[in-house]
Amino acid sequence: MPRPFHARRLRRAAAAAVLAGLFAVPLPTMAAPAATAPVPGDPLTGSGAVNRTELTAGQLARGTADDTVPDSAFALPAQAAPPTHSFEGTLTLDSLSTAGGFRALRDPNGYGDAAATRHLPPVDIALVQNGSHLVPAKRGLQYTGNQAWNLAVGPGRAWNEDGDGQRTRASLPFALVERNANCVHNGALTFLFDHTSISEVRYQITAETCEYFQFDMWGQVPADYRPGPVDGAENLRDAYASEVGDRLPTKPISALATDYPDRGVDVAKFGSGITPSALSTFGFYFGGVHYVGNCRTRHGEYPFCGQMLLPSYSTAKSAFAGTAMLRLAQRYGPAVAQEKLSDRIPETADNTAWSDVTLDRTLDMATGNYTSPGYETDESGRMADFFAAEPYADKMRLALSFPRKASPGSKWVYHTSDTFLASRAMNNYLQDKAGSDADIFDMLRDDVLEPIGVGPESLVSSRTDNSPGGAPFGGYGMFWTQDSVARFAKFLNNDHGAVNGTQILDPTLLAATMQRTPQDRGMTTTGTKPMKYQNGFWGAEFTSADNPAYTSPFYVPFMSGYGGITVAMMPNGATYYYFSDNNEFSWNAAVAEADKLAPMPGAAVTAR
């Protein structure tokens, strides 16, 4: 499986200064805005009689954070009452560069030695409220300028508890994203507020999807609440209500057995083969229902499982680069796949190794340019400098540094840098067609991701120069939530690249990408179990040697990512995904359970 090596040490500079704030500053009275579209599930119906022992009102007013607490302390309790106050304005946390505690759990590279790594970056969040839901004005990756961390903040909740007096309690999910990388560390924060004051803010991080850096972080700091209108507030409230209402129907994974009682499905097989402590979450889509697993942390269940931010790593090779090529082919014709990199990337002008390399060969990892043909030998060795490079010029130079060893299309060698080159070539091709302001990821966002309804967290990509104006990484740097990854897989696997009857992706190229064209399987990979690789997607063959029930061979196309990430899209319409970080790639058992629900089609796409 693709496991790009990351050897970058975080810079040792101190954290960037945080905006100053005041604690419990009197605030002007502000009327609660009326939501034109309530979020499904509101209003809350609890009595407010919550038996709280952690993060009480007294502790939030004048307590200290000595360690982490159970994550349930940040969760919406069963007896939560409707909020009596409405938050609209900006929340800023103070004193972050020195506050709080940090405990490294896995850190072989010594990232935790840097002061900036052990504390939160600047946190300055504009929020609006719709009923009991708190909605950040900006979701997804935010560049903070911090030497260690970028930030993402998700939608949270607001409610009343009897023990909080006349104040409303708020809780929000957030995530730290490693600068110039794709590791995601998930946490939550909570505070009390009314129309005249705000408490201190308690926060903690207790989970991640990151193979090489795992830690707990916690703290309690003063906060500044600046009430006032947020630009587009009503649109934000309405959009969030629509987003929640449009999510795929969900049930717990246990419901799969009760929904199909005569199929003998063993739901314990989903998530099996992965070390439980390394499993962030998993899910299974079948028959129009998204069956979801839980979201573990080291201190209980994550209180915002549906909002847990998940890294793409190399699933971006499929979901971004491969899919962008399919979209370009539908917009401008399939000849785009034969575009030469040397015609689209100016930096190749004096490098003859790239003169006859086409876009499709690059997306197939078959450029013929490499140092070692061994399975991911280049990826885990020489590629370290490429991953560490933050400026565009350095990243491009390193991506083009591999020598010609074979003719293009004759040898598969896995390079994340190849996907970076393919993304850049597509970007420049798009600019030639659509204008100099065009951006290949923005095209994917506007033409594919937004129309299929993925959440805002998946509408942004990490870029070079740690800047929204940089070049998208291409081979990594996207983000998922449970709903987004299931929805994207459904678009490919069930909807065949169409939205509401309109074909978005080139159907012929998509069929080959999804292993539905037997005469066009793609490149054969190296490794202990050779597979197929085409257009950024993997393909695994299953035969009776894997399971006697498979009387006809079939292929499963899948997206795969560093550390233990798989999105397997089976030819019977089922999708299984999991996100983990212990280098475990185990999903054959899920295929066998899916086969019980609907037998897999044979190699020629005919029923068995």
Q: In sequence order, what are the beta bridge partners of 557?
A: 539
Q: What is the mean pLDDT of the chain?
A: 93
Q: How far is CA 199 from CA 5, 63, 93, 365, in A?
A: 43, 10, 11, 53
The listed CATH number (3.40.605.10, 3.10.350.10, 3.40.710.10, 3.40.50.261) that belongs to domain 315-480: 3.40.710.10
Alpha carbons 202 and 221: distance in angstroms, whole number:
7
In contact, 527 and 576? CB cutoff 8 Å: no
Q: What's the rounded mean pLDDT across residues 402-427?
A: 98
pLDDT at 196: 79
DSSP code for 164: G
Q: Which tens digit of pLDDT belongs to each residue from 226-269? A: 999 999 999 999 999 999 999 999 999 999 999 999 999 999 99
Quote the CA–CA distance of 442 and 460 in Å, as a whole number. Answer: 8
pLDDT tens, residue by residue, 31-83? 444 446 899 999 999 999 999 999 999 999 988 999 999 999 999 999 999 99
Cα–Cα distance measured from residue 606 to residue 608, given in angstroms and rounded to the nearest whole number? 6
pLDDT at 19 over 80: no
Which range (115-119, 249-253, 256-260, 382-386) has the least confidence? 382-386
Residue that the structure tokens 């190849």 belong to = 418
More confident residue, 539 or 19: 539
Q: Bridge-partner residues for 190, per DSSP?
A: 171, 202
Report the run of H or E that residue 490 belongs to, with start and end: helix 482-493
Share of the chain above pLDDT 70, in %: 93
Query: Tell me: the pLDDT tens digits for 44-56?
Result: 999 999 999 999 9
Which segments of 165-321 are extended strands (E)? 168-178, 184-193, 201-209, 214-221, 223-227, 250-252, 279-286, 289-292, 296-297, 300-301, 310-311
| CA gap 237, 304 in Å, rounded | 19
Q: Is the pLDDT of residue 28 over 50?
A: no
Query: Scanning the structure block, which residue is given the tokens 């705000």?
Result: 198
Confidence of residue 606 (pLDDT cuts 50, 70, 90): very low
pLDDT (0 to 100) of residue 36: 64
How would you label 283-293 residue by residue, b for 16+ Cβ within 10 Å and e otherwise?
A: bbbbeebbbbb
Q: How confident is the model over 491-540, as pLDDT tens digits?
A: 999 999 999 999 999 999 999 999 999 999 999 999 889 999 999 999 99
End-to-end CA distance of the chain: 29
Looking at the predicted structure, is the pLDDT value of residue 26 above 60? Answer: no
Give the residue-averaged pLDDT of 418-445.
Answer: 98
CB 33 within 8 A of CB 86: yes
CA 85 from chain centre, in angstroms, equals: 32
Q: 350: how many CB neighbours lie within 10 A of its CB? A: 6
| Of 314 and 18, the one with more pLDDT | 314
pTM of the model: 0.93
What percent of the chain lies above the pLDDT cut of 90? 91
- Do residues 154 and 184 make contact, with C-beta atoms less than 8 angstroms apart? no
Under 8 Å between Cβ of 398 and 392? no
How do residues 91-114 score in pLDDT, each as one tens digit? Answer: 999 999 999 999 999 999 999 999
pLDDT band at 23 (very low <50, low <70, confident <90, very high): very low
CB atoms within 10 A of CB 139: 22
- The whole-angstrom separation of Cα 303 and Cα 322 is 34
pLDDT digits (tens, 9 = 90+) for 583-596: 999 999 999 999 99
